[in-house]
Amino acid sequence: MKTKPTADSQTLVQATVDRLREALLRGEFPAGCPLRESDACAYCNVSRTAVRMAMWALHLEGLLEYQAQKGYRVRKFELANTQDAYAIRGAIEGLACRFLVERGLVGEILDELRALVQTGRQILVDVNGGGIDMAAWREMNVAFHAALLRPMSQVFHETSSFARRTPYADPAVSADWRATPDSAYMELAQSDHERIVAALAAGQAARAEMLMSEHLYRAGEVLGETLA
């Protein structure tokens, strides 16, 4: 009989995911090289169980490659591929916004989207007050983009998932790529979210599609400027 993970173990795994993700984005583990569980355990000072779960999560985000019998390897990053992935995500999620309006599906997720927008606004209030909770911001960003796709057909999910597997293109990563959070960029992203939700609520299919497409295209451009 399997033991259900405790809240403490889930928190430890998430902390391990966050620390390894930051190390990968900073290049502390060379691209194209194997990443052994023992090295990750030593880096994070946690058990193999937590590292194993964290590495699988980062594989799903596209930052690690996995091969049976060989283990994990740090995925090589090419800026052009990631910027294309953002443009593709923009097209997919933009079309989802259009269909949400045209197919009368907005009501299924509107309350959730409004709550997530409010969460983002509160995080920014905390930022301006001198503190920041990037884990909360990432969680909000992931939930926002997931909610938009939830009422869509399986083909939306599969196509979006393929694009998000490109390094740096997953919502959990795209929330911020810097060691120090950029509150100006976060304000812009928050404004985008608010305008997208307002367009959906008003039944403006074309505007919602355009805003989402521009939101994700800009994210790819900002990534390029940041890494340059």
Q: Which residues of the chain have pLDDT under 50?
A: 1-4, 179
- Residues 215, 124 share a domain: yes
pLDDT score at 170:
82
Q: What is the DSSP annotation of 34-101?
A: EE-HHHHHHHHT--HHHHHHHHHHHHHHTSEEEETTTEEEEPP--HHHHHHHHHHHHHHHHHHHHHHH
Q: Say if 1 falls within a structural domain.
A: no
- Residues 195, 115 share a domain: yes
pLDDT score at 131:
67
- Residues 199, 89 share a domain: yes
Per-residue pLDDT reduced to its tens digit, 48-81? 999 999 999 898 888 898 988 889 999 887 888 8
- Residues 106, 213 share a domain: yes
Number of domains the chain contains? 2
- Residues 95, 172 share a domain: yes
| Residue 136 structure tokens | 């909360």
- Residues 57, 152 share a domain: no
Q: Say if 2 falls within a structural domain.
A: no
Which CATH number does the domain housing residue 194 bear? 1.20.120.530
> What is the domain range of residue 27?
7-74
pLDDT score at 73:
92
Neighbours of 48 (CB within 10 A): 11
Q: Say if 174 falls within a structural domain.
A: yes
Domain boundary among 20, 54, 74: 74
- Residues 17, 90 share a domain: no
